Each structure stands twice: as structure tokens, then as C-alpha cells.
């Protein structure tokens, strides 16, 4: 997780530096009717394209784990001889690659806003997995090593999910923008993973995640719009949950499985196609502030 956070900070610093070189000509024209290439990418909603569109996302998933090995010991007293044995074990959790696919819609806000520039939602399927490895040494009552035991547990959980995210856009130049998103996802397991060990498992407490998960997540991506006159752009991004709402485990977004915790992350590649406007639809009439106030005064009479 530390490496992932470091990567996000480096990306943010780099894009802020690039943004200092991008100075749009006219802030008002950016948002209303300016078809030039300097228009912010997320605001490309005039001309032939509407503010709504379809989005398709896919990519790999991965589960991060705490680094290092956890150690412990357990005593066993033989009922026949009365002699005791000592088990000294260590456990290590490892992440596994998975994948996801999603389809949904994008909705760009009608008016310029400081924080919310567009929002999107989607439904899909994702696969999270993990491994837990245990090595155990067995000692007799004279602290003599009499044997070693090994075991491993592996799982993949498959979730149907729904997601909603609100996005803020930070313009870099006419073809690139930094995309920040906060959102919520609701996941339901339709493919529950393996709960058994292959080999010996140390007598540690186990916890298995419930079928339903609800999380808050954050995503950081780089938006790319190849063509100024097309309603298409795509965004590669990193998405991680930062707060687990259900099942409640002190707020941790980790998936509990076996005796370990697995922190999920997604590398998302999202493609967006804005819908074309109806050519027979009359364009909206722009009203200046003086006329708008006059209309308001007439309504209040």
C-alpha cells in the first residue's frame, strides 16, 4: 500500500507541474460555445455531442498485503503420554492478480462547478484473490526439532458490483487532464473462494468476509482526449477503497480471509463515448445576466 500511495503522490506532483504551463485564453469561453482545442476536455459538450454518454471499463485487480511474516507458537499436550510438544509457526500473506469488467454511463454537469465536473456509474464483475502460506516447526519437550509442516491456502472471490463516482478534473493541456474521483461501491459475492488449506494450517483464528461488501473508494487517473472534434476520451487510473462500510471491521477496506487481510486495488482503463445530439433539436438560446434578471423580475410580479 505504501508503494501505491507513493506512486499516486508522484503522479500528482508531475501533473501539477505540467499544469503550470497550460493557461486557457478565456475562462468564460471555455465553458460556453468555444469549439477551439483549448476547451477543457471534460467540458466538450457543445457541437454534435451531448453531456451524457456510455462508459466501458476493464483491467486487472490485485490484493496488497502487509509486508513481513507473522510468528506465533502453540503447545500441544499428548493425552496418552502427558508429554507436550511446541509448535512454532510463521504465516505470510501474498496478493494475487485478478480482473474486472464494467459497463455504465457518464454524465457531465450542466454548469461549470468548482469541485464536481462529472459523475459516472457502472455495474460489473470483479475477481479478487489471495494466498496464505504457513510454515511450522515441531519441537518436543526437550526443545528438539522433530519435524516441519507446511501448508497453503489460496482463494478467489468473484463479485457482482455496482459503483458510483463523482469526478473532479484538473486540466494539464488541451489533450490531457488529471481525473480525481471519490465514490462508493457495493459488491456481492457470487463466487465464494476456497476456505480449506492444502497441507497443515497453524491453529490461528480465522475470519472470512461476508458476501456483501460496501466501500468508499478513491481513484486517480490521467484523462486522454485524442481528437478535439470527437466525443471520445479514455482514462487509465488506479482505484483503491479507503473505508470499509460493510462488513464493518473498524473501517478497514481489507478483505478478511483465512488469518490475513487483503487490500484490493484496481488498475482501470475506462473508455467514454458521448452521445451525439439529435440534429433536429433546436440549440439552446443563451441569455445574458441582464435578460435573466429581467425575466426573474417579471415572474415575481
Tens digit of each residue's pLDDT (9 = 90 or more) over 180-236: 999 999 999 999 999 999 999 888 899 999 999 999 999 999 999 888 678 889 999
Report the pLDDT value the prediction gives residue 145, as an integer from 0 to 100: 87
Report the pLDDT value the prediction gives residue 70, as an integer from 0 to 100: 87
Report the pLDDT value the prediction gives residue 44, as an integer from 0 to 100: 52
CA distance 48 to 31: 15
Report the pLDDT value the prediction gives residue 258, as an integer from 0 to 100: 95
Is it the case that residue 143 has pLDDT exceeding 60?
yes
Q: Would you say the pTM of this structure is higher than 0.85?
A: no
Note the residue count of the chain: 301
What are 257-299's pLDDT values in tens digits?
999 999 999 999 999 999 988 766 655 555 556 666 666 666 6
What is the average per-residue pLDDT within 233-256? 95
Q: CA distances (Å), 103 to each of 9, 25, 51, 265, in order?
A: 29, 36, 17, 18
What is the average per-residue pLDDT within 121-148? 92
Give domain limits for the chain. 2-300
* Mean pLDDT for the chain overall: 82
More confident residue, 97 or 31: 97
Model confidence band, residue 72 (pLDDT cutoffs 50, 70, 90): confident
Omega within 30 of 0 (cis) for the link into 247: yes
167 neighbors 181 (Cβ within 8 angstroms):
yes
Q: Where does residue 245 fall: left (phi above 0), alpha (psi -120 to 50 degrees), or beta otherwise?
A: alpha
Report the pLDDT value the prediction gives residue 36, as an integer from 0 to 100: 38
Model confidence band, residue 16 (pLDDT cutoffs 50, 70, 90): very low
Model confidence band, residue 7 (pLDDT cutoffs 50, 70, 90): low
Amino acid at each position: 500500500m505504501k508503494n501505491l500511495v507513493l506512486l499516486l503522490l508522484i503522479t500528482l506532483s508531475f501533473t501539477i507541474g505540467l499544469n503550470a504551463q497550460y493557461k486557457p485564453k478565456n475562462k468564460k469561453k471555455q465553458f460556453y460555445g468555444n469549439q477551439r482545442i483549448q476547451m477543457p476536455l471534460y467540458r466538450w459538450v457543445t457541437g454534435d455531442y451531448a453531456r451524457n454518454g456510455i462508459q466501458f471499463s476493464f483491467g486487472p485487480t490485485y490484493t496488497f498485503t502487509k509486508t513481513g511474516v507473522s510468528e506465533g507458537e502453540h503447545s500441544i499436550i499428548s493425552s496418552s503420554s502427558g508429554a507436550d510438544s511446541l509448535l512454532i509457526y510463521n504465516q505470510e500473506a501474498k496478493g494475487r492478480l485478478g480482473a474486472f469488467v464494467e459497463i455504465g454511463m457518464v454524465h457531465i454537469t450542466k454548469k461549470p462547478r468548482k469541485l464536481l465536473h462529472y459523475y459516472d456509474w457502472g455495474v460489473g464483475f470483479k475477481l479478487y484473490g489471495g494466498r496464505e502460506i504457513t510454515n511450522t516447526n515441531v519441537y518436543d519437550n526437550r526443545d528438539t526439532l522433530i519435524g516441519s509442516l507446511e501448508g497453503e491456502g489460496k482463494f478467489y472471490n468473484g463479485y457482482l458490483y455496482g459503483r458510483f463516482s463523482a469526478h473532479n478534473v484538473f486540466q494539464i493541456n488541451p489533450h490531457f487532464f488529471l481525473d480525481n474521483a471519490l465514490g462508493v461501491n457495493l459488491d456481492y459475492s457470487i463466487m465464494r473462494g476456497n476456505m480449506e488449506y492444502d497441507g497443515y494450517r497453524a491453529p490461528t483464528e480465522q475470519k472470512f468476509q461476508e458476501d456483501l461488501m460496501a466501500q468508499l473508494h478513491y481513484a486517480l487517473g490521467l484523462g486522454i482526449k485524442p481528437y478535439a472534434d470527437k466525443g471520445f476520451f479514455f482514462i487509465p487510473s488506479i482505484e483503491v477503497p479507503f473505508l470499509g462500510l460493510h462488513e464493518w471491521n473498524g473501517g478497514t477496506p481489507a478483505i478478511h480471509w483465512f488469518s490475513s487481510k487483503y487490500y484490493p486495488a484496481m488498475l482501470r482503463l475506462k473508455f467514454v463515448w458521448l452521445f451525439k445530439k439529435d440534429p433536429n433539436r433546436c440549440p439552446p438560446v443563451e441569455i445574458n445576466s441582464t435578460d435573466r434578471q429581467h425575466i426573474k423580475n417579471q415572474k415575481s410580479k
